[in-house]
Chain A
Amino acid sequence: MPDRDDGRAATGAAPALEVAGVSVQFGGVAALSNVSLRAEPGVVTGLIGPNGAGKTTLFNVITGLQHPDKGTVQLDGADITRMGTHRRARLGLARTFQRLELFSTLSAADNVRVGLEASGRATASTAVALLGRVGVGDEAASPVSSLPTGSARLVELARALSTDPKVLLLDEPCSGLDERETQALGRLLTSLAAEGRAIVLVEHDTNLVLRVCGMVHVLDFGEVIASGTPDEVRRNPIVQEAYLGHADDRGDGA
């Protein structure tokens, strides 16, 4: 597939995001231990692993919602480990949430507008255009509390895009989407990466991950157990044992 080849070609470029040796303890439990990964511009980097592997915690560390006990986070070469969440966002970091974090009493368009206004790019029409790009243009005027989960996730994606981020973290954007919508999202991610953004994708839909990602990291019990191209990861026996091989037993969402 061409986009995957693009991804390979980009490997080795300066990373937009670099996580190095990050550890997080929750009480006696190691949520993350010594996690390192990088995301490069123009590449969709996949992050897969069973539930509870620490994927969302890692996103929280990257965005500053969780302080790491050890390790550093760099954005475009600058150390942002101790920086506040909103300042990281202004440097070009955006994310969506696994459990929705919409501005729940605003309309879909206003959700996006808040982001646009925050980054000084506000017009009402850009909000609707962004919603259109992610595929929920018709819902612009709807209160987000009335949207089905799938559409609400796409509104979150549009809001994340509203700040024109260099690095975009997506936490399970496909849950709640049907097959056709998932395909469309895959194409959207590829085109967002082609604009030069670094995208980190946490997703349980392994087909999608293997299709759009140029690089995949596998997280299990808070540790990166494998990294590589989709093909390398798919063939990796450790990964098959920990995650992929059990896909059938565990069912789709496991």
Chain B
Amino acid sequence: MSVFLSFTVLGIVTGAVYGILATGLVVTYNTTGVFNFAQGAVGMFAAFSYWQLWQDWHWPFLLAIVFIVFVEAPLLAVVVEFVLFRRIHGASVERSLMVSLGLLVILLGVATIFWSSPDIVRSVPAYFTSADGTVASVHLFGANGVTIQDQQILIVVVAAVVAVLLGVFLRRFRLGVAMRAVVDDPELVAMAGAKPFRMSQTGWALGFMLAAVAGVLIAPLVGQTGLTSTQLTLLALNGFAAAVVGRLRNLPMTFVGALALGLVTQYCVGYLPGHISPGLASVLTEVVPVLFLFVVLLVIPAARLSPAGRLAVRPPPRVVTARQSAAGALVLVAGMVVLSAMVGATALSTLSQGMALGIVGLSLVLLVGFAGQVSLCQLTFMGIGAFTMGKVFGGDSWWGLLLAVVVSGAVGALVALPALRLRGLYLALATFAFGEVMYSAFFDNSSVISDGTSIGVGRLRLPFVHVVGDRAELIEVAVAAAFCAVVVGLVRRSAFGRRLVAMSDSPAAFATVGLSSVRTKVIVFTLSAAMAGLGGVFYAGQQGGIGANDVQFIGSLTLLLFVAIWGIRTLTGALLGGLTAAALPVLQTHLPTSLADLTGLAAGIGIVLLARSPDGILGMAWLTNRVHLPFGDAPAAAGELLLDREVARA
């Protein structure tokens, strides 16, 4: 009985924290239309601020809390709304997702700069301690009862208060009611005399404040041994499932979902059979919340096709012609041949990595750029390709490469199955959940890949060609990348390519001309995952193997962001995105530690640009008017032809 009670208490407490975070998410989503992927990162930021003010600068702890929740969080929200989100109001789901993912990376980056030096342990003491210095607690239900910490009670009380206050605000107060209306029709609300941007500002501020409350509450629970930024941020991602239970609209259901999530997770931990290995137990702890999310996504009713009535504001990228992509491929390979003769060993391996990641970037162009299906697990596909390569035919065979492509493609088709019912945001969440499950249950599972090691992958041996040395390898990867770029260009010019773009532009119209998105989605997921797997073969071949660290969520995320920042609908953008993702960590080592997180900084600056130019850097008119891109796939200027020549002739 006492076991059951203890895990129930833990479940309720975890659920309460998830509940506060998820409610913030729902409030922001309903007032701004943006699903804030960075919600957990804001909580993380608040937790660190709390440590900073209270523990490091010795503010009174109550003052620190009040400052963080009522000054810092809303201020941060107002800045973020102004710099990032005001310009993308009404933008596509993909784009607003991308910007909020960017915010996550920025916040992680800033936290890394301020709070990552390993010589300090950032521990946060419990809220209530008894006279002897231990955590204050009460004991209930007698000898077989349960011990509850005072701070656990505090968390549940705060969650309840938050729920009630929020409900009252949204139903009884004029501003609250208007906020609920603003996302549906900002123009109508504006006509009714309210300022839509003021309301979405309030929506952001409320969301951030709730995240801050959750962050401050949870800090002592997770922070006894020291806070870590990624742990806190990812912890909150689990809370997304709660918001999905409430279909991102319903606050009471969100709380119910949060409690269910907390309890299910804790019971799974509590009632694991005693004989299973501690390794498996820790895997389960990580997997259960994500599986919960996955299951919730699978059982929520499928999204109905509904007319969106959205028109592209700017002309789309020009479609590359066959000649342009052939020329681009030649320039790429020739460029790498020349470059490889001029640079040192580090640069050679960085370029190879960049080209391999570029291939994964090209797979994102197919999936996200053309078909509008956001994937947050592309490195998982890459890892599956690399893993397959490493396991078969000696790890360096041509046949291994073929099998790697086939296996990762097949996994892609599997992931497409839930994607058939889901769109936009929910799809992105499903790919996130899939990536996390694969990470915890497969790549990070010591019975698959021993801890801290990797599966050895050799360099591809080609028939008739000797690939010896780093230089030859770079050229080999460049040829593969050029080949993939040509393929992606070819797909875009085909009937299937038009179909992908059409499906992304208007799913409703797509169906009314008699097209089923089922086949289209399965094919594009398969193609994209297969291409990512191919990228994985070269990526792992270059570094000699594939391990859990190569396939983390944050890696998939940064690659996606960098490709988007350069231009996710362009071939050049994909390759530059891959190179950027490979080069930044290397550049980092040459910089002072005050610039500890170059990737985060670059992503931050890039995301601000992305908020202004939907097609990224390559979509900016001032650039494309001056520079000729190798693949000639810059966005077209207004009114410019963007047709294949055959149509122009007809």
Contact = CB atoms under 8 A, between A and B. Distances in A.
Nearest to A106: B501
Interface in B291-307: 304-307
Contacts of B313: 145
Contact of B315 (A109, A122, A143, A162): A143
Nearest to A104: B312
A95 B512 contact: yes
Interface stretch (B48-56, B242-250, B416-424, B503-511): B503-511
A65 B510 CA distance: 12
Given A65-B307, A101-B308, A125-B650, A114 B315 contact: no
Nearest to B305: A65
Given A101-B307, A146-B315, A86 B516 contact: yes
A119 B514 CA distance: 7
Contacts of B648: 141
Contact of A97 (B315, B509, B636): B509
A124 B313 CA distance: 26
Interface string A107-131: 1011101110111001111011000
A85 B647 contact: no
| Among B510, B638, B639, B643, residue most surrounded by chain A Cβ atoms (within 10 Å) | B643
Contact of B647 (A94, A119, A124, A162): A124
Interface centre among A109, A110, A127, A159 (most CB of B within 10 A): A110
A217 to B, nearest CB: 22
A94 B513 contact: yes
A159 B510 CA distance: 11
Interface in B629-648: 636, 638-639, 641-644, 646-648
B495 interface: yes
The residue in A63, A99, A124, A156 that gathers the most chain B C-beta atoms within 10 A of its C-beta is A124
Contacts, number: 155
B315 A145 contact: yes
B499 interface: yes
Interface string A137-156: 00011111110000000001
Contact of B514 (A89, A111, A141): A89
| Interface residue range, chain B | 35 or more
B646 A163 contact: no
Interface string B314-343: 111000000000000000000000000000
A65 B311 contact: no
Interface residues of A, number: 51
A89 B505 contact: no
Contacts of A160: 512-513
A35 interface: no
B312 A105 contact: yes
A140 B511 contact: no
A193 B551 CA distance: 58
Given A105-B316, A106-B502, A100 B311 contact: yes
Given A84-B516, A103-B509, A104-B310, A141 B315 contact: no
A111 B313 CA distance: 17
A86 B511 contact: yes
Given A122-B495, A124-B650, A105 B505 contact: yes
A110 B308 CA distance: 20
Contacts of B509: 97, 101-103, 156, 159
Given A113-B498, A114-B502, A128 B316 contact: no
16 contacts: A65-B511, A85-B511, A97-B307, A97-B509, A101-B509, A103-B510, A104-B316, A105-B312, A105-B315, A105-B316, A107-B642, A113-B498, A114-B515, A141-B643, A145-B314, A146-B315
Interface of A: 60, 63-66, 84-87, 89-90, 93-95, 97, 99-107, 109-111, 113-115, 117-119, 122-125, 127-128, 140-146, 156, 159-160, 162-163
Given A66-B304, A102-B505, A104-B311, 20 more contacts: A63-B512, A64-B511, A65-B508, A86-B510, A86-B515, A89-B512, A89-B514, A103-B506, A103-B509, A103-B510, A106-B498, A106-B501, A107-B643, A114-B498, A140-B647, A141-B643, A141-B647, A143-B315, A143-B636, A163-B513
6 smallest A-B Cβ distances: which pairs?
A99-B309, A105-B316, A89-B514, A85-B511, A115-B513, A101-B509
